[in-house]
Amino acid sequence: MFSLPSGGAWAYDRERLDELYDALQTADPAEAARLEREIELESSRSGSATMDLLFKRGRDALEAGRINDAIGHLTALTDHAPDFAEGFFYRAMAFLQDDRYGLALGDIEQVLALNPRHFDAIGALGYILHELDRPEMAYEAYQRVLDIHPHHKQVGAALERLKPALNGKDL
């Protein structure tokens, strides 16, 4: 779902991420789950203790359902670390939980500009497109997820939910 920016202070290893994404293409389901966790871990390294703290606080607030707190922490993060895709991704998830689709789409666009293979961001895009009654576009987004991560668990279910909206259209 996605070349990473060069330069900056971010601690992720672009070559390592590329290797993980490439390996995901041919992995069996168990290996794909392990690779997915490694991609998430590698992607979440900001290289700054302060940015890591903002990221953790934002994620923790999001998981606890404190959406406004999450948005605040993640906005501070994205303001200070504009090349750190995960900050934008998690803020998009906070906006999504708050039904602020336009803001979520803006952050997803930023994530994909920084990391075009971010399969969870593409999956979120598919979800939003489905919610906005754009089933064909949602289908294309979900298919893109499967192109990157053939064993993505949530996309199969999302495609099943999408079938009635497609009404037998050939895509």
Confidence of residue 60 (pLDDT cuts 50, 70, 90): very high
Per-residue tokens: 133: 């009654």
What span, in angstroms and rounded, lies between the C-alpha atoms of 7 and 165?
Answer: 43
pLDDT value of position 1: 26
Whether 19 has a pLDDT exceeding 80, the answer reads yes
The predicted structure's pLDDT at residue 161: 85
Q: What percent of the chain lies above the pLDDT cut of 90? A: 79
Please check whether residue 61 is in contact with residue 70, taking contact to mean a CB–CB distance below 8 angstroms: yes
Which residues lie closer than 8 Å to 50 by C-beta, 6 or more apart? Answer: 80
| Per-residue confidence (pLDDT) for residue 168, from 0 to 100 | 61
The rounded distance, in Å, linking the Cα atoms of 101 and 89 is: 13
Q: For the chain, give the mean pLDDT.
A: 90
For the record, the structure tokens of 64 come out as 């606890």
**Burial class of residue 62, CB neighbours in 10 A (0-12, 13-18, 19+):** buried
pLDDT bracket for residue 164 (50, 70, 90): confident
Q: What is the pLDDT of residue 10?
A: 47
**Does pLDDT of 43 surpass 70?**
yes
Worst-scoring range by mean pLDDT, 12-26, 74-88, 113-127? Answer: 12-26
At 88-107, the pLDDT tens digits run: 999 999 999 999 999 999 99
- Provide φ and ψ at 10, rounded to 5°: -70, 140
108: pLDDT strictly greater than 60: yes
Domains and CATH numbers, the chain: 44-116 (1.25.40.10)
**What gap in Å lies between CA 47 and CA 26, rounded to an integer?**
30
